Amino acid sequence: MKKYITLVTVGLLFVTTSCFDLSEHIYSNIPAENFFQTEKDVIAYAGRAYVKLQPFPEEQRLWSLGELAADELVIPTKHNGEWYDQGRWDDIHKLNIAPNNKILTQAWDMVFQGISACNEILSVISTINFDNKERVLAEIKILRAFYYYWGIDYWGNIPFSTSYGSKELPPQKNRAFVYAFIMQEIDENIDFLQETPSSQYYGRVTKAMAYMLQAKMYMNAQEWIGENHFADAVTSCDNIIALGAYEIEDDYFTNFKIHNEDSKENIFVIPYHSQLTTEHFYWSYLTLNSASRATINMTGVPWDGFVVNPVFFAKYATEDLRRKSFLFGQQYDKAGNPIVIDGVPFIYSPTIANYSSRGEWEGARIAKYEYQEQLNYDVNDMENDFVLFRYADVLYTKLEALYRLGQAGTFISDPDLQKIRTRAGLTPYTVGELTDTELLDELGREFAFEGHRRQDMIRFGVWENAGWNKPSTTPNKRLFPIPQTAINTNNNLIQNP
């Protein structure tokens, strides 16, 4: 009998343990529960909030949507039908954007996946103890505020959530609500941020970055929430100036070199590595014609789509050195010889005869960021770091705020401010020269293709104006439509008017 009891007991044990074990064995991924072992792991986890910014200047994301909707960038259909893409570029150019527009959707996804990532990171790492925890938490919160800033800029009324783990669909909040949230986040976290820029904090959220974000919020407060905060914007800019850590570079293009990490002007950048970063910086592909390969010894074949709006190009004086941000006229190979293709000199003409059928070499091309050799999409991409905020922006923001307050004279002879003009080969401004048109044009020339133009045009009240091959629009087009995919998956969202 004893034998049977043993048998049954052992049998039962066998049956209840391994015989019914359904735990999963994971080999090629890291189960989350085993991940956080060292502080480096925490940073590697939290750091993805920064990685989510890397798509920013790609072909179909935040940057291209804003620039194409504004008057800097155009993507006309080529003579051979390329770049028509079911009219998705043309629709953006004419502000006739359908909610299922692919670029619109991907821009939205970048913002809200960034916000979700920040929410998740905060919920996970706030329960772990590690060195400099307050600073890391503050960085992530300011990054989240930065994503929200783009969210209310582009769409105004957006889903709002600061937590992770609940399945509840977030409610839709208006600009005033989100504005207040962003400002509160900056106030509560700015003291924890790194003050002096150093290579250790390169590419990270610092105090100056948070002040600049604050200044930008104030500058747009009139449009977004109907409040005048220009004086506060000046204070924010002064806080950065007071840090004494930044300066206007002698050469405008130092800020955009292949190794622009040396720039003392850049405040907040997205660092890129030619191979390591999984999202790429590849303007060479977007803008260059394949004949330009000889100029920079390019390995791959560029796609030849993004060109400079001819009207915007014309805003530059001939002597303006910043006009070198573009390729136009006769092109030269690496050795300096003029490029001739099948007997025809390779010339980029800044004008475009027919918007719906752009000639092969029509349109000036973007060359603001220095192009390295052997560029090859997804194999060897641009190493330049993309500039989001720089010191010239601080000074020009202060100038514009003071101009709007009628106090431009107090700042107009600031040597750093004047240097922005003189390094471009131009004379410094006098108060009398400053008009709305001139200021807007100058902001355009200084910050061309840096992602500023949309806000500037709206702030200066010219957004609705007709443009090059673009009819005038109604004020409701100041907001982009909410993508259909977002409305489909969250029934709290109501489409913008």
Q: Helices marked H in 71-200 — which ranges?
A: 88-93, 102-125, 133-155, 175-189
Separation CA 305–CA 287 (nearest Å): 5
Q: Helices marked H in 307-450 — which ranges?
A: 310-313, 391-404, 415-422, 436-446
For residue 192, report the phi and psi dihedrals to the nearest 5 degrees: -85, -10
* Piece in contact with other proteins (CB under 8 A), picked from 111-119, 221-229, 230-238, 446-454: 111-119
Least Cβ distance, residue 268 to other proteins (angstroms):
13
Q: If residue 389 lies in a helix (H) or strand (E), which one and from where to where?
A: strand 386-390
CA 15, 19, 21, 22 torsion: positive or negative? negative
* Piece in contact with other proteins (CB under 8 A), picked from 126-134, 277-285, 400-408, 412-420: 277-285
Helical axes 102-125 vs 133-155, angle rounded to 10°: 160
Say whether residue 335 binds other proteins (CB under 8 A): no
Q: Is the distance from CB of 430 to CB of 399 less than 8 angstroms?
A: no
One of 231, 344, 353, 379 touching other proteins (CB under 8 A): 379
* Piece in contact with other proteins (CB under 8 A), picked from 163-171, 237-245, 313-321, 468-476: 163-171
Q: Select 158 or 401, whichever has its Cβ closest to other proteins.
A: 158
- Binding to other proteins in span 215-274, by CB under 8 A: 271, 273
SS3 for 149? Answer: helix
Q: Select 273 or 433, whichever has its Cβ closest to other proteins.
A: 273
Q: Which amino acid is at 101?
A: N
Say whether residue 123 binds other proteins (CB under 8 A): no
Tokens of residue 193, six digits: 């941020």
Say whether residue 334 binds other proteins (CB under 8 A): no
Rg (CA), the chain: 26
One of 86, 184, 330, 356 touching other proteins (CB under 8 A): 86
Q: Is the distance from CB of 98 to CB of 77 less than 8 angstroms?
A: no
Least Cβ distance, residue 49 to other proteins (angstroms):
9
* Piece in contact with other proteins (CB under 8 A), picked from 1-9, 308-316, 410-418, 434-442: 1-9
Tokens of residue 231, six digits: 């004086």
Q: Is the distance from CB of 111 to CB of 147 less than 8 angstroms?
A: yes
Say whether residue 132 binds other proteins (CB under 8 A): no
End-to-end, the C-alpha distance of the chain in Å comes to 83
Residues in contact with other proteins, shown as a per-residue x/- string from 36 to 55 under the rule CB under 8 A = ----xx-xxx-xx-xx--x-
Residues in contact with other proteins, shown as a per-residue x/- string from 339 to 378 under the rule CB under 8 A = ----------------------------------------
One of 56, 83, 89, 112 touching other proteins (CB under 8 A): 112
Say whether residue 5 binds other proteins (CB under 8 A): no
One of 6, 435, 472, 476 touching other proteins (CB under 8 A): 6
One of 2, 31, 127, 319 touching other proteins (CB under 8 A): 31
Q: Select 37 or 129, whichever has its Cβ closest to other proteins.
A: 37
Cα-based angle 223, 229, 230 (whole degrees, multiple of 5): 95
Give the binding-site size for other proteins (rule: CB under 8 A).
73
